Amino acid sequence: MRHNDRADESDKRVLRRQILQVRNGLTADDVRERATALARQALALPELEHARTVAAYVSVGSEPGTLALLDTLRARGVRVLLPALLPDNDLDWGAYTGQGSLARVRHGGRMALFEPAGERLGPDAVTEADAVLLPGLAVDARGMRLGRGGGSYDRVLARLDRAGAHPALVVLLYDREVVADVPGEPHDRPVHAVVTPSGVRRFG
């Protein structure tokens, strides 16, 4: 690891900590209100309006809320895929068929995640998606996303590249998480758009 990489990693850690601190200060009402606004903005995206398959995720804790969005996509007849975390931090996928189809799964000491309880479709299922909704902590003016540091979505993006798949990549954040600069690494790739409760911003 070069000196610069170490500096970037440490900058990322500081930024992650700052953002999580602000998120953890949100009340349940804050999270609910913003989830409604976020869903409204996201559902107006042409990339989601025309999508047949969307790979998404279930928000947990104070993350920008996704359930209202998932339910509306399903009601529109969209096939929604949700991730299941594998032991090596890669992601398998399963279909979302409503909130009754979710299982609460705890992975080691981490917080519990909501994963699809039904059939597993394999890590390559994400390559069929027309749009991929990515979790994150921040995005910058170039569209570079700051993740939580587990690397799961880096693998997803690499898999899409290898398959020659080009879905719309959309990150869901709170307004203040669109920042001037996210410390980057050579393998990072930009997202196409960020959706926040107050609007949509596109990149490149």
How far is the CA of 37 from the CAs of 12, 65, 115, 193, 194, in angstroms?
Answer: 28, 10, 24, 16, 14
Instruction: Give the tens place of pLDDT for each residue, 110-154.
Output: 778 999 999 999 999 999 999 999 999 999 999 999 998 888 999
Overall pTM > 0.85: yes
Q: What separation, in Å, do the N-terminal and C-terminal C-alpha atoms of the chain show? A: 29
- Residue ranges and CATH numbers for the domains of the chain are 3-202 (3.40.50.10420)
Ranges of the chain with pLDDT below 50: 1
